[in-house]
Structure 1
Amino acid sequence: MRIMKRNIILLACLLAGISFHSCSLDEPSYGKTTSENYYQTDSEIEQALTGAYLQLRTTWNEYALNHYFVGDCSTDDALKGGNGDGDRAEVRDLSDFTVYTTNGEVGRRWEILYRLINRCNDVIYHAPDAAGDKDLLERYAKEAKALRAFGYYCLVTTFGGVPLLTQPMLPAEVLTIPRASEDDIYTQIIQDLTDASTLPAKGEYDEADAYRLTRGFAKAMLAKTYMFRGDFTSAETVLHEMVETDGDYQLLPDYGMNWRPEYENGSESVFEIPNKVYDRNIATGTNVPHYFTSRGGSSSYQGYGFHVPTQDLYDAFDADDPRITYIFTRTGDRYAGDTEEQDNSGSETGFHDYKMTVPSADKVGFDPWMISYNIRMIRYADILLLYAEVLNENGKPAQALTYLNQVRSRARNTNPVDPRRDKQVYVPQTTANTLPDITVTDQSRLREIIWHERRCELAMEGWRRDDLMRQKRFGEVMHAYAQKYDTSKGRNFDDARDYLLPVPQGEIDRTNGILVQNPGY
């Protein structure tokens, strides 16, 4: 069997030179590669599956960048940053809720996710009839179903009902497909993730395939789906399996370990997009850290300065919370092996995103646009806090405290001094009273505490918008933010419009109006 790493390098060579500017519903892949000349063997199906995985990490079009821009910069957690309002203005419009139907960031999300879905459909459709190891082919189809479900989850939670494509189609056929209902999309997501929940567990793959999707990923996304729908009973069932039965994951002992190279794909990682550079001449790295690193100073840390933590996010933390060290960078911080200090003078708040700051010592000899750094998408801490939340919603607050306090315990036992830095401007002064266990069992009060803990624990990881939407308080939070800081950010939020993004106008035009626009746009 061909190993995934070799396939990634091979396909990265092919994808690195491709420019993706067209809309994606009818992207022209069919008619070139067909069941008559490809998809015939298990090795060809595996290569097609690797091509699906790579849709999340295509050079200059990485999904993670959109995940953070949409998931954080449109919320109270992050400012757009960059070099003024005109720099990546489409993200500013997301932040101000003045989004046009031609917004480039909105179009990028639609495009990437439908490219992913289209390639998954190829694998799912052709795998059963391919020659070779039938167990492998069944597994490849399940991996593709998990990826397809992820794509549809990200679409339906931001656009509402979208065209439901579940098998390969010719471009002309695709353009005749109207939007399905949200219920139909969620039904497909649940079916795909249920099928994929029998994938191997984390650790059951060999080293070469270590980043393949697992049963844990399928169950995590299934739980998120149920939570988004308010189906707390089903969510509890899935989360109980993950936490109390499967035992596939555990928290790392120190919060900061999650962002060190030696703990990539560690025991806490449920879903991680690998961007390891196996060959420095091949574009298998990521450029997301370059977008999010401080603009100021020398080449050591100089980037584009987007995705800036807000003062409001910083103020959400207790002053002695050790997680502050691993979420915010400041002017004057310096990483071991670097010769110059961080310069955040261009940041409106004085902060930048620690979780995406890669020390220059780790980039020696690499193209700064091809950084060897994995994107941590879902951590086990997220799962524990979801479980605490759903237990509380289901009238089991005492049980919820167990999992909430697991996360808080790890946080308070985290080293407030970053071992990667030899100069750290602010060190949280921890004491015996830092982040004490929560004992509150009143459902309403505990709900607020758990929501707050999610904000702190998962800060700058792209899930804030998702949480605010499913908690049905997105508008409330954003209006409060705008009023508190007397800013345009959040002021224009319209509850009747802004829980969804607009369908890209280009897609509506290409279908001659078969696709209809969301209300208010």
Structure 2
Amino acid sequence: MMKNLGLIVTFVTLLCVNYSCSLDEPSYGKTTTENFYKKESDIDYALTGAYLQLRNTWNEYALNFYLLGDCTTDDALKGGGDDGDRREVLDLSNFIVYTTNAEVARRWTILYELINRCNDVIQYAPDAIGDADRLTRYANEAKALRAFGYYSLVTTFGGVPLITKPMTPAEILKVPRADIAAVYQLIETDLMDAASNLPAKSQYSEKDAYRVTRGFAKVMLAKSYMFRSDFENAEKWLKEVVEVDKDYELLPDYGLNWTPAYENSRESVFEIAAKLYDKNIATGTNVPHFFTSRNVSGYQGYGFHVPTQDLYTAFDADDPRITYVFTRTGDRYAGDTEDQDNSQSVTGYHDYKMTVPRVEKEGYDVWMIPYNIRMIRYADVLLLYAEALNENGKASNALVYVNKIRERARNTNPVDPRRSKQAYIPPTTNNTLPDITATGQMELRQAIWHERRCELAMEGWRRDDLMRQKRFGETMRAYADKYNTTKGANFTDSRDYLLPIPQDEIDKSNNVLTQNEGY
């Protein structure tokens, strides 16, 4: 799939032009015609169009995922030039959220466009002419992606309209919000189908390397159960991934995860590919440029998604992962002619994981960088498994998996091979990151939560964790008190666990859609 992506991007763009991608339709309405889906190649193109909804050049889901997932939490500040620079993210961060917030609307739109295209594939693949097994796989890929879309919607908006087949705009406008339980039921059904019918990661050919897998489906099932505190079912599916299928493993060094040589590595469960097979076709990503230091030639980004001091102090001073989470003034990447300058960052830090060194993007436009977005890593899976095991009274088993993460971290090189200068090198010793030994459920729970924060720092999952652990409000109000800031001070539990339904969607539905409490 991926090596033909350039041609497919062009084709999908033409498809949208020729088959009425109307701006007058609801953002979650049908955008293509039934007359197209007749043969296997049509379905393949349509499925690629679904994948591409996560990485539209000027509307990338990853950007929204990071800004909402981290900047609304204690892990990251909005950053940017000033308060007015992407003000909608600052409002979200301060929990002063209007129903017209553009970042909220962006999430809704991207995810329903993804769901819409998945619906087309699921609807038409069974009757298309071609290889029956491949068409079945395409339909199950679409189910996995559709479930991902609905998971991302239900965990931020609550009950949302369930659109499960191609519909006309008039039909769409009559669909009310479904109960949260019904949304999760669809997620479970789609993911169980996908888990049973999709290949393992190793079974895909190189050209299909970035397609969703059985592992992705099972991990998303586990995440959906974890979000509802159904630890028994979460443990069941995580056990399949970790102990039965064994499709993934940790890389030996934490820092390898963000190097070109280890894109889509054995640790990667889901990546959004941003390879550039043709520099003239827009298949790269611009997300790193949003997060890069504003002051360094060859970078000169927008400086968003700034790690907080609170996140930094969560790490032990000798934790090697510090090297691969934070950049500082005085760092210099190999091949650069000047040091990093983070003087415009309020904390003095920028996001290492989304910083692409100059030599790795040489010859490319900064808005079109060949850098994959790492969405789900196996480390996330192991820590979820540890958490589920502990909640199910299996502390000794949980310790095995959380300590695998700590073992890998302490064996990580504290000196970044990609830097020629490093302003801070964690002073590792034989006592760095010792194994956790706590067996009391509450104490171990806190240790696992802390390990997730450090291991997955700046990867977009912090908000998700705080919400499902039911400590979002408590954490953010404590943050506001600790730092005497407005960030988190306005958090209201009855309102801020959900985002508002975008007002434009309510208006287009003629109030068929209803608003969340407090907005």
Structures share a fold, TM > 0.5?
yes
Q: Distance in 1 between matches of 2:90 and 2:63?
A: 15
Count of residue correspondences: 514
Contact preservation (8 Å) 1:301, 1:342: no
Q: Distance in 2 between matches of 1:12 and 1:501?
A: 34
The aligned amino acid for 2:71 is C
Q: Distance in 2 between matches of 1:216 and 1:352?
A: 32
Counterpart among 374, 396, 399 of residue 397 in structure 2: 399
The aligned amino acid for 1:491 is A
* 121-130 or 15-24, larger mean C-alpha shift: 15-24
* Secondary structure of residue in 1 paired with 2:203: coil
Residues 260, 520 of structure 1: alpha-carbon distance in 2 compared, 3 angstrom cutoff: same
Q: Distance in 2 between matches of 1:480 and 1:367?
A: 42
* Secondary structure of residue in 1 paired with 2:306: strand
For structure 1, the residue ranges without an aligned partner over 5 or more in a row are none
Query: Can you list the C-alpha shifts for 1:201-224, whole angstroms capped at 9, x where unaligned?
Result: 011000000000000100110000
Q: Distance in 1 between matches of 2:6 and 2:180?
A: 34
- Name the counterpart of 1:99: 97
- Name the counterpart of 1:85: 83
* Secondary structure of residue in 1 paired with 2:130: coil
2:335 aligned with 1:333, yes or no? no
- Name the counterpart of 1:126: 124
Query: Can you list the C-alpha shifts for 1:159-193, whole angstroms capped at 9, x where unaligned?
Result: 00000000000011000000000000000000000
How far did residue 361 of structure 1 move?
1.1
Q: Distance in 2 between matches of 1:28 and 1:137?
A: 21
* Secondary structure of residue in 1 paired with 2:269: strand
Q: Distance in 2 between matches of 1:122 and 1:417?
A: 48
The aligned amino acid for 1:120 is C
Q: Distance in 1 between matches of 2:278 and 2:355?
A: 22
- Name the counterpart of 1:300: 298
Counterpart among 27, 44, 62 of residue 25 in structure 1: 27
How far did residue 38 of structure 1 move?
1.1
Contact preservation (8 Å) 1:292, 1:307: yes
* Secondary structure of residue in 1 paired with 2:64: helix
- Name the counterpart of 2:281: 282
* Secondary structure of residue in 1 paired with 2:368: coil
Contact preservation (8 Å) 1:97, 1:493: yes
2:222 aligned with 1:223, yes or no? yes
* Secondary structure of residue in 2 paired with 1:453: helix
Residues 58, 397 of structure 1: alpha-carbon distance in 2 compared, 3 angstrom cutoff: same
2:213 aligned with 1:214, yes or no? yes
TM-score normalised by the chain length of structure 1: 0.97
Q: Distance in 2 between matches of 1:200 and 1:219?
A: 12
Counterpart among 352, 355, 359 of residue 354 in structure 1: 352
- Name the counterpart of 2:426: 428
How far did residue 8 of structure 1 move?
4.9
- Name the counterpart of 1:205: 204
For structure 2, the residue ranges without an aligned partner over 5 or more in a row are none
How far did residue 99 of structure 1 move?
0.5
**Alignment of structure 1 residues 12-411 onto 2, 5 Å:** 12=10, 14-15=12-13, 24-27=26-29, 29-30=31-32, 33-34=33-34, 37-198=35-196, 199-297=198-296, 299-411=297-409
The aligned amino acid for 2:185 is T
Query: Can you list the C-alpha shifts for 1:308-367, whole angstroms capped at 9, x where unaligned?
Result: 000000000000000000000000111111111111000000000000000111111101
The aligned amino acid for 1:505 is Q
Q: Distance in 1 between matches of 2:60 and 2:22?
A: 11
* Secondary structure of residue in 1 paired with 2:150: helix
Q: Distance in 1 between matches of 2:452 and 2:24?
A: 37
Q: Distance in 2 between matches of 1:468 and 1:12?
A: 40
Contact preservation (8 Å) 2:50, 2:114: yes
The aligned amino acid for 1:140 is Y
Q: Distance in 2 between matches of 1:491 and 1:10?
A: 47
Counterpart among 444, 456, 459 of residue 457 in structure 2: 459
Contact preservation (8 Å) 2:275, 2:283: yes
Contact preservation (8 Å) 2:293, 2:299: yes
* Secondary structure of residue in 2 paired with 1:477: helix
Q: Distance in 2 between matches of 1:13 and 1:38?
A: 13
Contact preservation (8 Å) 2:250, 2:266: yes
* Secondary structure of residue in 2 paired with 1:142: helix
Q: Distance in 1 between matches of 2:376 and 2:390?
A: 22
The aligned amino acid for 2:225 is Y
Contact preservation (8 Å) 2:328, 2:340: yes
Query: Can you list the C-alpha shifts for 1:353-411, whole angstroms capped at 9, x where unaligned?
Result: 00000011111110110000000000000000000000000000000000000000000
Query: Can you list the C-alpha shifts for 1:51-77, whole angstroms capped at 9, x where unaligned?
Result: 000000001000000000110000000
After the TM superposition, which segments of 4 or more aligned residues of structure 1 sit over 2 Å from their partners? 7-10, 12-28
How far did residue 22 of structure 1 move?
6.7
Residues 190, 28 of structure 1: alpha-carbon distance in 2 compared, 3 angstrom cutoff: closer
Q: Distance in 1 between matches of 2:384 and 2:184?
A: 19
Contact preservation (8 Å) 1:42, 1:132: yes
Contact preservation (8 Å) 2:28, 2:109: no
Q: Distance in 1 between matches of 2:7 and 2:317?
A: 44
